[in-house]
Amino acid sequence: MRLLLFFGFCVVHVSTTGLNEEFSWSRITYEWPEDGTLSSRFGRRSVIPLYTQNRPHLNADPIVFEGSTNADVNRQTKRKENQNNDNNNEADNVPESMDYQYVNNIPMGANVWQDKLFITIPRRRLGVPSTLNYVPLKNAKKHNVPLKPYPNWEMNLYPDTSDSKENFVSVYRTAIDVCDRMWFVDTGIVETLGNRTTVKPHQIVIINLNTDKVIHRFNLPDSVITPNTILASLNIDSPKGSCGDAYAYFPDLSGYGLIVYSLRENRAWRVAHNYFYLEPMAGDFFIAQHNFQWNDGIFSVELSDLKANGYRDMYFHAMAGTHVYKVSTRILRNETLATRSYHGDDFVVVGDKGPKSQTSTADIHKPTGTMFMALVNQNALGCWNINKDLKTLSIVQKDDQRMIYPSDVRVSQDKVYVLTNTMPEFLYGRLNYDETNFRVWSSDVRSAIQGTMCQGGRSA
């Protein structure tokens, strides 16, 4: 693959082996219990909603999805039920109801641990049976593989019929630390046509992946949450050899802040800085033939390897922005330092990635110092070696048909994984559920950066 990338200040000539298409879905289906215990809850094969071809643009908040209600979907005819034969077998044992609607299921996050590929489906509309799921990586079938709720169906049901209040309501993305633990925020919010219904407080959840058991929960206090808070990604800082000293970082993309959580202290604090806000001149997007404006601030954070002083650099960026910034975790992990009203030169401007370089999530491969970036405005995966000038940012792979909107990027061991989900077409157009809409890509890190300017350096 050969591409020319124009940033105004540089031209990067890229020759890479590209990414492999690991899994793909035209629509999301689930592996229903064989005993039929949930047959009264979930609909068979959901039908096409009452979309119009010319849908009005929403306001600047990309979290709010326009679309039909459950009642709208239920009123439709079943004439398109049999159009996608890949889904027939998985759904045949489920009778009709309004609790499962494939048109409302869009994957947002992907992560990997051993043989599990985790896929999250936040409840941004009704009709989502399970928010935290997985498929076996070694599955022989690679297209339209039904998702398996993780760790089980009961933990993912909404409403919670057990009255335990321990079910997962809505999960955007996950993080997996070096101690074989999965971390995520259950937002506790169900969103329908712009209405945010708070079911329970934002909750940090930690699962031991070796036992599939929840080992810790923490409700984020009101002192760190704002009325606009959206916690859609996270990163975990686990000092080597000390799993109990872990820190979690949660960017608040709509509240324009950063939440830090100490596992040992079981305490959270909120960090404020002007660099967490959107950049007013970088809020325009053109994706999948749709023009729109978003106002997302700090969207994801990336951690370098441990430095000589025992801390890491935390890199961050706004979605509606093209700059990269960094701050030492020495500041963030100290509540007194982190919550000061004036930070002096604690926060550093790394540089500007250039036009159309808006990024959703990113992750760092620590042995090589390679940061992989989901370049949403280019339908591309980019890479940058954090020990080099930001102008050396390169394109690993770009595809305006098959890579529309890279939503999540994760590095696991020596592989990079990318989830693309065609979200702008979902938001502002109409997905064709007889075509492939969602994909997970992968590549060995060193193969992915071969021939790019990301080669040739290790993290500091």
Tell me which residue range forms the domain holding 146. Answer: 2-448
Residue 456 lies in a domain: no
Residue 314 lies in a domain: yes
Model pLDDT, residue 90:
43
| pLDDT of 14 higher than 60 | no
Q: Structural domain tally of the chain? A: 1
- Reported pTM: 0.87
Report residue 165's pLDDT band, with 50, 70 and 90 as the boundaries: confident
Residue 240 lies in a domain: yes
CATH number at residue 270: 2.120.10.30
Residue 364 lies in a domain: yes
Tens digit of pLDDT for each residue in 278-319? 999 999 999 999 999 999 999 999 999 999 999 999 999 999
Which helix (H) or strand (E) element contains residue 73? helix 70-74
- Tell me the C-alpha distance between 278 and 60, whole Å: 12
Burial class (CB in 10 A: 0-12, 13-18, 19+), 84: middle
Residue 460 lies in a domain: no
Tens digit of pLDDT for each residue in 355-364? 999 999 999 9
Residue 71 lies in a domain: yes
Burial code (b: 16+ CB inside 10 Å, e: under 16) for 414-444 equals: ebbbbbbbbbbbbbbbebebeebbbbbbbbe
Residue 459 lies in a domain: no
> By 3-state DSSP, what share of the chain in percent is helix, strand and coil, each rounded to 5?
10, 35, 50
Report residue 40's pLDDT band, with 50, 70 and 90 as the boundaries: confident
| pLDDT of 204 higher than 50 | yes
Residue 454 lies in a domain: no
Which helix (H) or strand (E) element contains residue 3? strand 2-6
DSSP 258: E
Candidates 442, 449, 416; CA nearest to 16 is: 449
